[in-house]
Amino acid sequence: MKESREARFNAIVAQEKDPLYKEWLLENREIFITRPRTQKKAWLEALEMTDSSEEGLEGVEIHKGEIYFADLDPHAKGKIRPVVIWQNDKLNRAVTLGIYHNIIVMPLSSRLYGGAYRYRIETRDNLPKTSEIVCNAIGLVGSNRLMPKRGLLTKLRLHEPDAVTEILKEIMG
């Protein structure tokens, strides 16, 4: 199985036209051809999924700061909520290419508690309610749990990513 991941990775690298991204892929080769425990869990969850309408992100471009719905607990009802994608666009592109299967996200909540570790976003675009990014709940989800077919809800604007980064700096202390 490792050979097939390696062969797929090599084929993607061979087709890559951006020399800087190609160099980055090669520098990080091992994270794409091996499956750490967290990626293994994401793969197992993907195999267990029965709803074929949400098959993961291969071929779907995602970017840092975009907000989509995600299934944060596929074994329980009511855990579908908006999340903001927080990993860099190099990893996001690897997800799109189908060679990486985890996404760093922060959930949004429409329960507006405020406080030092939340960032408020007013209703806009397709975001149905004023919400707060719960910055102290940063986590990792398998790419199969993001629901791009439900559409992009909104994107962080102008100063918002910087404000969230400041909150994360406070949390990481």
Angle CA(130)–CA(131)–CA(136) in degrees, nearest 5?
165
pLDDT for 30: 78
Provide the whole-model pTM: 0.80
In whole angstroms, give the CA distance from residue 150 to residue 80: 11
Q: How far apart are CA 164 and CA 168, in angstroms?
A: 6
Question: For the domain 35-172, what is the CATH code?
Answer: 2.30.30.110
Model confidence over 106-150: pLDDT tens digits?
A: 999 999 998 999 999 999 999 999 999 999 999 999 898 999 989
Confidence tier at 1 by pLDDT (50, 70, 90): very low
* Residue-wise pLDDT tens digits, 70-110: 998 767 665 789 999 999 999 999 999 988 889 999 999 99
Residue 54 confidence (pLDDT): 40
Mean pLDDT of the residues in the chain: 85
Write down the domain spans for the chain.
35-172
